[in-house]
Amino acid sequence: MNNLCKKCSGCLAIFGDLAALFFRLLLAYSFYPPAMKKINDIESFTNFLIEKGVMYPEINAYAATITESLGVILLILGLGTRLITIPMMVVMAVSVWLVHWGHGFNLCENGYQLNVFLFVMLLSLFGTGAGKFSLDSVLHNKWCKKSE
């Protein structure tokens, strides 16, 4: 019976690591279009921030663009996952505040529903880490073996 429990635990752990991988890839896929839109037309995004009355619109435009773009790459690789989720959650919170709050929750009405889902997924990755199928895991294992 004990052996069966160990086998089941191993299978469940793999599902957890796969879930983290799929979360990362789905998040990267979700952030890719807005990141590319900002990269390709940073002036429009800066002007949008000016219209919204954001202080230091140029700095904030570049900060959001770099965060989303770098986030896509790092989430795909599973590198610095916990670290990159923090500024990405800030970007989601600011997006809710600047763009979606006045429309309510419903995604179909340009509400903040998707932003909340992305925020919670990022928060989950912050808490659990990138999982076994990531460069974070590879580097962690490499560094931990050296220190033993």
Q: Are 26 and 136 in contact (CB under 8 A)?
A: no
Q: Which distant-in-sequence residues (6+ apart) come within 8 Å of 60 by Cβ? A: 49, 54
Closest CA to 75 of 122, 34, 28: 28
Which is higher by pLDDT, 146 or 23? Answer: 23
- CA torsion angle for 25, 28, 33, 35 (degrees, to 10)? -170
CA distance 69 to 61: 12
Domain boundary assignment for the chain: 2-147
pLDDT in tens, 92-144: 999 999 999 999 999 999 999 999 999 999 999 999 999 999 999 999 888 78
pLDDT in tens, 86-95: 999 999 999 9
